[in-house]
Structure 1
Amino acid sequence: MARQRLSAVVMTHPRRLAAAEKLALSVPSGLLRVVMDPDPTGTPSVLRTALAAWSSIEDGATHQLVVQDDMVLSESFLDRVRCAIEEQPDAALALFALWDSRNGAAVRLGAMAGARWVGAVNEYFPCVAIVLPRRYAEGFVAYGRQRLGGWPDDILMHRYLSAQGVPRYVAVPNLAEHEDRGSISGNAFRGPRRSVCFVPGDRPGREGETLTGLTVLPFFKHGVAQCAVRVQGPGPQRWLHLDAEQYLRGAGLSAALLRPPGADTAGADVRGTWLTALAMGFEAARAGLPEPPAASAAYAEAVATIGTGGISNACTEEHIAHRREPLAEVARRALLAGREAAGHRTRPRRPDGPVWHGAENPLGEHLARRLADRREHHAAVIDLTALHSARPRVTVRPHGDAVPYTLGVGELYGPGCSRRTPVGRMVWDALRNRPVVAEGDPDAEVYPVHVNDLADAIGAVLRARPGSREIAVAAGKPCTAAELAQAVHDAVRPVPVRAVPDAEPGWHTPAGTLRPPGWTPATGLARGLHSFAQWLAYEGVLTESD
């Protein structure tokens, strides 16, 4: 006899009532009720409607299921949900994850391992189709009502569930697929938003089989192959945000293996797919995950969405469909290559590198990891303590030198950086769907420096040992404050840009005239701002109080 009782709703806006009613009718026994936005003429807010949905749990129900109106449900949707809440009665269950997300990366590894649910990771908790135990559904209503007008519901859900210590899982394969009908909440700019792994005919069973404890998550997003890597050691759980190529080089894979076959003619989508799948195969083998059975429909679908998810932000549906199978074949070959590489080596021991001062923070962790992964193992003392001063700088003293190099740094941004800097404030506002504020003179020159480029500049100084001790670390051509604000609008979220000419942002101009020999910034502004936004939303939000 079932011990758990499910209450279920589909949340909607009057403009999409017909779609919500159609979705409700697709579920037998009339279980799905429709809950409407309580203020449909107000500012669009998914959170406002979600709170109404969570508040509508039926008397006597132990769990509440909330589905958004633009979802397609699998054939066994209710059966799997009911089995899952019997097996995991105290857990939050996400029934969908995006194909370019970290949770999607976890689902891929779960499909490889034959798991039915995978532990959610450092990201928003997907809320388009989700089940919560009653006490957490009611708790989130109280939590969310105090935070209307700020973060979206999925980021707030992640923060709430994490703070409560709630076990969080994502379905493998997903039980729902997103059906794009335009976005009332303003997410259409993200491109098609599809499931990492939707198998409509998947049957219920083995719902207690989970995969947790993942520490490396390769994913392909916005055309960039990336890895989220959990920091091992004391302190709260935190993650580094690395390029997949950087991570694989640090793991000891050869430069030749990082290039897909036919790389001279391969496009960026092939390269990104190759690096992501190579890292996935490599880490799956190192983690002891079995090779999936050939008949696994979930694994086949999860692999087929690596490439398409990675290019979805900038491509049409037609182009994505055209590239699906060629990129899936690239992914399959890379997965095998990654497994083979893991079988032929052990992770190399990192030689002793520089001694760092002032690096006991997320920024220092990212800089040190970047230098280590690039095999920069010079004997030196690197001091970051003045990096947050009115004249930001890094001092680098190679072993045996009496006088250190002083690297004057422009406007530093990227993973590990604060949201309280001028660039950080712009990105932070855009993340919360607020206008980007261009403070001060819109024509003021700004010298952005991404965290990765600063690490590369430090490495260049250690390698070249230039004659001048005063080094400037900044892009060759500055942008204006107005151009930077527009770049945030383009790369993070298309919110309005507002000028406040009387404000004083405090832009930093790097001291020194000589650039590090052989160094050229490699991170484009759009890519760098996107990486900064990702880190602030998922990690930075936990490091600084409001």
Structure 2
Amino acid sequence: MARQRLSAVVMTHPRRRAAAEKLALSAPSGLLRVVMDPDPTGTPSVLRTALAAWSAIEEGATHQLVVQDDMVLSESFLDRVRLAIEELPDAALALFALWDSRNGAAVRLGAMAGARWVGAVNEYFPCVAIVLPRRIAEGFVAYGAERLGGWPDDILMHRYLSALGVPRYVAVPNLAEHEDRGSISGNAFRGPRRSVCFLPGDRPTKEGETLTGLTVLPFFKHGVAQCAVRVPGPGPEQWLHLGTEQYLHGAGLPAALLRPPGAGSTEPDVKGTWLTALAMGFEAARAGLATPPTASEAYAEAVATIGPGGISNAGTEDHIARRREPLAEVARRALQAGREAAAEHRTRPRPAGGVVWHGAANPLGEHLARRLADRQERSAAVIDLTRLRSAEPEVTVRPHGDPAPYRLSVGELYGPGCSRHTPIGRMVWDALRSHPVRAEGDPDAEVYPVHVNDLADAIEAVLRTPPENRVIAVAAEKPCTAAELAQAVHSAVRPVPVRAVTDAEPGWHTPAGTLRPPGWTPATGLAGGLHSFAQWLAYEGVLLESD
């Protein structure tokens, strides 16, 4: 006899009422009720409607299911949900994850393991189709009501559930698919937003089988192969945001294996798919996940969406569809290569002596140290970051045996680990919350953005080839203007308005001198760098900041 009782609603806006009613009719005998935006003429707000939906839980129900109006449900949607809340009664259950997301990466590894639910990871918690226990749903109504006009509902949900320690799972395969009809909340610029693994005919089975404890999550997003890597140790959960190529190089895989074989190997979508799947196979083997049966539909579908998800922000529907099967074949070969590499893997010895860090016990220091550890092949050194947050930011580097340090004068630093209170951080933080980007001060002021990865590479360059001068500038040869930077945030993070605030003084950092580290050139494009900074602020930095 069922111990749990489900209440369920579709949340919508009057402009999409017909779609919501059609979705509600697709469920058995009136289970899905329609809940409307309580202020449809107000500023568009998914959170406002979501709070109304969570408030509409029926008397006597133990769980509330909320589905957005632009979803397509699997044939066994409600059967799987009902079985899942019996097996996982205290958990939050996401029934959908995007094909280019970290939670999507977790779903892929769950499909490898034959799991039905996988532990959610450091990201927003997907809210387009979600189930919460009653107590948690009621608590979120109060929590969200105090935060209207700020973060989107899915990031707030992640913060809320994390703070309470609520178990969080994502369905494998997903139970819902996104059907793009335009975005009231302003997400259309992201391109097609599809499920990582949707099988309409999937049947309920073994809903208590879960996979948790994942520590490396390879994913392909915005044309870039990336890895979220868990920082070991006790305390709050922390993750590093690394390039997949960097991660695999640091793990000791040979450079030749990081290059896709065969025709088309230089195409960006091929390279991104290859690196992502290579890391998946490598990590799955090292984690002891069994090779899945080739007949597994969930595994096959999850693999086939790696490439399309990675190019979804910049490709048309037709182009993405044409590339699906060729990229799926690349992914299948890379997965096998990754498993074989893990079987032959030997940990690469680190250079003797190591590096002594000062002022690195913070997220920025962790990212710099990891980047250098994955790339450095030279002798030991003392690296001091304590002045990196000063009015004249610099890093001092003293190679072993050198009597005096090198001073690296740094431009406007941004990227994973950096604060939202810097001038660039404020711009990105505003755009993340759908607020106008404030271009402070003189719009023609020269700005020298320096990404965290490029700073680490500059430190490595000094260690590799000690320069003649003791003061070195870490900055691009050509700056951008403050107005150009604000427009880049608009394009790379979210297309919100840009507003000039001419009476403000942002305090841009201009590096001292013009000599740069020998052989060093910044490799991070501004658009990609801003996107990586936005990701870190939204999923990690947000947890370090008060409301």
Q: Tell me the distance in 1 between the aligned counterparts of 2:265 and 2:288.
A: 34
Q: Deviations over 1:226-270 (max 9, x none)?
A: 000000124321000000000000000011000001367531000
> Displacement of 1:355 after TM fit?
0.5
Say if 1:270 and 1:330, in contact at 8 Å, map to a contact too: yes
Task: Please tell me the root mean square deviation across aligned C-alpha atoms, in Å.
Answer: 0.9
Of all paired residues, the percent bearing the same amino acid is 87
Q: What residue is the counterpart of 1:358 in the other structure?
A: 359
Q: What residue is the counterpart of 2:419 in the other structure?
A: 418
Q: Specify whether residues 229 and 377 from structure 1 end up closer, same or farther in structure 2 by C-alpha distance, changes over 3 A only.
A: farther
Q: Tell me the distance in 2 between the aligned counterparts of 1:242 and 1:335.
A: 19
Q: What residue is the counterpart of 2:100 in the other structure?
A: 100
Say if 1:124 and 1:154, in contact at 8 Å, map to a contact too: yes
Q: Which amino acid aligns with 2:341?
A: A
Q: How does 1:238-387 map to 2 (within 5 A)?
A: 238-262=238-262, 266-351=266-351, 352-387=353-388
Q: Which runs of 5+ in 1 are unaligned?
A: none
Say if 1:355 and 1:382, in contact at 8 Å, map to a contact too: yes
- Aligned residue for 1:64, secondary structure, equals strand
Q: What residue is the counterpart of 1:388 in the other structure?
A: 389
Q: What residue is the counterpart of 1:223 in the other structure?
A: 223
Q: What residue is the counterpart of 1:510 in the other structure?
A: 511
Q: Deviations over 1:262-320 (max 9, x none)?
A: 36753100000000000000000000000001110000000000000000000110000
Q: Tell me the distance in 2 between the aligned counterparts of 1:164 and 1:459.
A: 41
Say if 1:353 and 1:376, in contact at 8 Å, map to a contact too: no
Say if 1:2 and 1:86, in contact at 8 Å, map to a contact too: yes
Q: What residue is the counterpart of 1:545 in the other structure?
A: 546
Q: Deviations over 1:333-352 (max 9, x none)?
A: 00000000000013334344
- Aligned residue for 1:199, secondary structure, equals coil
Q: Deviations over 1:92-140 (max 9, x none)?
A: 0000000000000000000000000000000000000000000000000
Q: Specify whether residues 375 and 402 from structure 1 end up closer, same or farther in structure 2 by C-alpha distance, changes over 3 A only.
A: closer
- Aligned residue for 2:428, secondary structure, equals helix
Q: Tell me the distance in 1 between the aligned counterparts of 2:68 and 2:164.
A: 24
Q: Specify whether residues 456 and 35 from structure 1 end up closer, same or farther in structure 2 by C-alpha distance, changes over 3 A only.
A: same
Q: Which amino acid aligns with 1:375?
A: Q
Q: What residue is the counterpart of 1:408 in the other structure?
A: 409
- Aligned residue for 1:18, secondary structure, equals helix
> Displacement of 1:393 after TM fit?
0.2
Q: Tell me the distance in 1 between the aligned counterparts of 2:517 and 2:429.
A: 31
Q: What residue is the counterpart of 2:441 in the other structure?
A: 440
Q: Tell me the distance in 2 between the aligned counterparts of 1:378 and 1:489.
A: 42
Q: Tell me the distance in 2 between the aligned counterparts of 1:337 and 1:188.
A: 36
2:497 is the counterpart of 1:496: yes
> Displacement of 1:544 after TM fit?
2.6
Q: Deviations over 1:177-217 (max 9, x none)?
A: 00000000000000000000001110001000000000000
Q: Which amino acid aligns with 1:145?
A: A
- Aligned residue for 1:314, secondary structure, equals coil
Q: What residue is the counterpart of 1:55 in the other structure?
A: 55
Q: Which amino acid aligns with 1:315?
A: G
Q: Deviations over 1:349-393 (max 9, x none)?
A: 434421000000000000000001113442110000000011000
- Aligned residue for 1:284, secondary structure, equals helix
Q: Tell me the distance in 1 between the aligned counterparts of 2:545 and 2:364.
A: 13
2:119 is the counterpart of 1:119: yes
Q: What residue is the counterpart of 2:84 in the other structure?
A: 84
Say if 1:110 and 1:117, in contact at 8 Å, map to a contact too: yes
Q: What residue is the counterpart of 2:233 in the other structure?
A: 233
2:31 is the counterpart of 1:28: no
- Aligned residue for 1:312, secondary structure, equals coil
Q: What residue is the counterpart of 1:452 in the other structure?
A: 453
Q: Which amino acid aligns with 1:539?
A: E
Say if 1:263 and 1:271, in contact at 8 Å, map to a contact too: no
Q: How does 1:108-257 map to 2 (within 5 A)?
A: 108-257=108-257
Say if 2:378 and 2:464, in contact at 8 Å, map to a contact too: no
Q: Which amino acid aligns with 1:429?
A: D
Say if 1:442 and 1:481, in contact at 8 Å, map to a contact too: yes
Structure 1 runs of 4+ with >6 Å offset: none
Q: What residue is the counterpart of 1:398 in the other structure?
A: 399
Q: Which amino acid aligns with 2:394?
A: R
Q: What residue is the counterpart of 1:70 in the other structure?
A: 70
Say if 1:98 and 1:193, in contact at 8 Å, map to a contact too: yes
Q: How does 1:522-533 map to 2 (within 5 A)?
A: 522-533=523-534
Q: Tell me the distance in 2 between the aligned counterparts of 1:81 and 1:377.
A: 54
Q: Tell me the distance in 2 between the aligned counterparts of 1:355 and 1:155.
A: 36
Q: What residue is the counterpart of 2:43 in the other structure?
A: 43
Q: Tell me the distance in 2 between the aligned counterparts of 1:402 and 1:348.
A: 30
Q: What residue is the counterpart of 1:430 in the other structure?
A: 431
Say if 2:473 and 2:515, in contact at 8 Å, map to a contact too: yes
Q: Tell me the distance in 2 between the aligned counterparts of 1:408 and 1:418.
A: 18
- Aligned residue for 1:438, secondary structure, equals strand
Q: Tell me the distance in 1 between the aligned counterparts of 2:93 and 2:27.
A: 19
Q: Deviations over 1:416-473 (max 9, x none)?
A: 0000000000000000000000000000000000000000000000000111111000
Q: Tell me the distance in 2 between the aligned counterparts of 1:434 and 1:69.
A: 25
Q: Tell me the distance in 1 between the aligned counterparts of 2:211 and 2:76.
A: 21
Q: Tell me the distance in 1 between the aligned counterparts of 2:233 and 2:30.
A: 50
Say if 1:354 and 1:377, in contact at 8 Å, map to a contact too: no
Q: Tell me the distance in 1 between the aligned counterparts of 2:167 and 2:471.
A: 51
Q: Which amino acid aligns with 1:519?
A: W
Q: What residue is the counterpart of 1:5 in the other structure?
A: 5
Q: Which runs of 5+ in 2 are unaligned?
A: none
- Aligned residue for 1:151, secondary structure, equals coil
Number of aligned residues: 546
- Aligned residue for 2:217, secondary structure, equals strand
TM-score, scaled to structure 1 = 0.99
Q: Specify whether residues 241 and 263 from structure 1 end up closer, same or farther in structure 2 by C-alpha distance, changes over 3 A only.
A: farther
Q: Tell me the distance in 2 between the aligned counterparts of 1:294 and 1:467.
A: 59
Say if 2:378 and 2:463, in contact at 8 Å, map to a contact too: no
Q: Tell me the distance in 2 between the aligned counterparts of 1:500 and 1:43.
A: 23
Q: Tell me the distance in 1 between the aligned counterparts of 2:264 and 2:519.
A: 24
Say if 1:112 and 1:292, in contact at 8 Å, map to a contact too: yes
> Displacement of 1:28 after TM fit?
1.1
Q: Which amino acid aligns with 2:151?
A: W
